[in-house]
Amino acid sequence: MLAAILVESRKPLVLDEVQLPLSLEYGQVLVKVFYTGICGAQINEIEARKGPDKFLPHLLGHEGGGVVESCGPGVTTVKPGDHVVMHWRPGRGIQSPTPKYLWKGKPINAGWVTTFNEKAIVSENRVTVIPKDFDLKLAALYGCAITTGYGVVHNDARLKSGESLVVVGAGGAGMSVILMASLIGANPIIAVDIHDDKLKQARKFGATHVINSKKENTVEKIRQVLPQGADVAVDATGIKEIRELCYELASGMGRTVLVGVPLAGEKITIDSFPLHFGKSITGSHGGDVNPDYVIPRLISLQNTGRLSLDGMISHEFPFNRINEALDMVRRGEALRCVLQMAH
């Protein structure tokens, strides 16, 4: 199978053939990948934002839509022919051993799910069955972006109808937060970004106000709408100054949720005194969602027309142009970029 391999940090991925093992181990599922999304997490891995990469060379990708080809011993939640979302958050089923692929005759590292490969051996608890008539391209979004947005709103922020929200960074995760907040009736919803095209889309997904922080004074504009601060402020960038800004933008009893991944060892400076009186700050880990609970419910909402993902995928590339797609995501020009795998 063809796979995109991270051989060296901060370098383009290497497209090459990787050999599948002869048999599946306990709890493993072989999936033919039809579409994969590119998440900021992969950019962070390539750039080694969390520190030196101890697992090179290795495979990447954690959100995909595919079809199950075969199952290893013990697997009960999926069967061959099932259409599935591939996700990094654990759901139901076995957590299997990680796969033992070979590249140039030597072992290559891979986690419980990878999607930058035409076929993937995935742990049973990293796949969720979806209806066979559901678009596998959109299914890829449910592997991370959409479910993270749901989890940030419902689990991390505990956002309620009528509460105010500021989201800084209107990429896939940030836009999903806006969408989910709109779905429950949050108001106002303020989106902040440096790209006008993303802000235009943010309005479509439910933002009531948009601010281009390159052109406008962000704090001044937000204070005009929310003089006392926001009930919830979400950072979806990982940038130090923006993490600090979100904390400042939250009201005296407001909640700050940090979704973006910071550079390893990069600390923020905040006034901790308001924490004694009801203000809070927390980091999100994929919204702390259970994919097997959330994905079917969100797909049901989409099928009834209550939830629309139209426009969430801004760019699509064939798999062999993955490095070009990664560069676009790296520049912040894509909302959500998907790769169509060879099939």
Distances (CA, A) of 261 to 7, 31, 43, 283: 22, 29, 10, 9
Residue 19 has pLDDT above 90, yes or no: yes
Residues 21 and 121: beta-carbon distance below 8 Å:
yes
Please say which residue of 247, 270, 285 terminates a domain: 285
Mean pLDDT along residues 203-230: 97
Classify residue 72 by its DSSP letter: -
Q: Are 144 and 40 in contact (CB under 8 A)?
A: no
- CATH number, position 164: 3.40.50.720
Mean of pLDDT values over 278-293: 96
* 115 shares its domain with 169: no
Which residue among 285, 302, 321 closes a domain?
285
Print the domain residue range for 170. 148-285
Question: Mean pLDDT across the stretch 123-145?
Answer: 97
Q: What is the pLDDT of residues 233-281, one digit of tens each?
A: 999 999 999 999 999 999 999 999 999 989 888 999 999 999 999 999 9
Averaged pLDDT score across all residues of the chain: 96
Residues 72 and 92 grouped into a single domain: yes
In a domain, 48, yes or no: yes
Same domain, 225 and 129: no
β-strand pairing of 189-193 with 165-168: parallel
Domain-embedded: residue 126: yes
Which pLDDT tens digit goes with each residue over 63-114?
A: 999 999 999 999 999 999 999 999 999 999 999 999 999 999 999 999 999 9
Q: Which alpha helices (DSSP H) does the chain contain, by range?
A: 40-47, 136-141, 145-151, 172-183, 196-204, 218-225, 240-249, 291-303, 322-330
Residues 161 and 189 in one domain: yes
In the chain, the percentage of residues whose pLDDT exceeds 70 is 99
CATH number of the domain within which 18 lies: 3.90.180.10
Same domain, 134 and 179: no
Distance CA 44, CA 64 (A): 18
Is the model's pLDDT at 33 over the cut of 80? Answer: yes
| Residue where the block lists tokens 């959500």 | 336
Q: Is residue 209 part of a domain?
A: yes
CB 186, CB 208: distance < 8 Å: no
Pair (60, 121) in one structural domain? yes
pLDDT reported for residue 83:
98
Q: Do residues 20 and 114 both lie within one domain? A: yes
Residue 319 pLDDT > 90: yes
Is 261 inside any structural domain? yes
Ramachandran region of residue 132, left (φ > 0), alpha (ψ -120 to 50) or beta?
alpha
Strand partners, 127: 86
The answer, as to whether pTM is greater than 0.75, is yes
Answer yes or no: do 117 and 231 share one domain: no
What's the CA gap between 72 and 332, in Å, rounded?
39
Are 137 and 152 within one domain? Answer: no
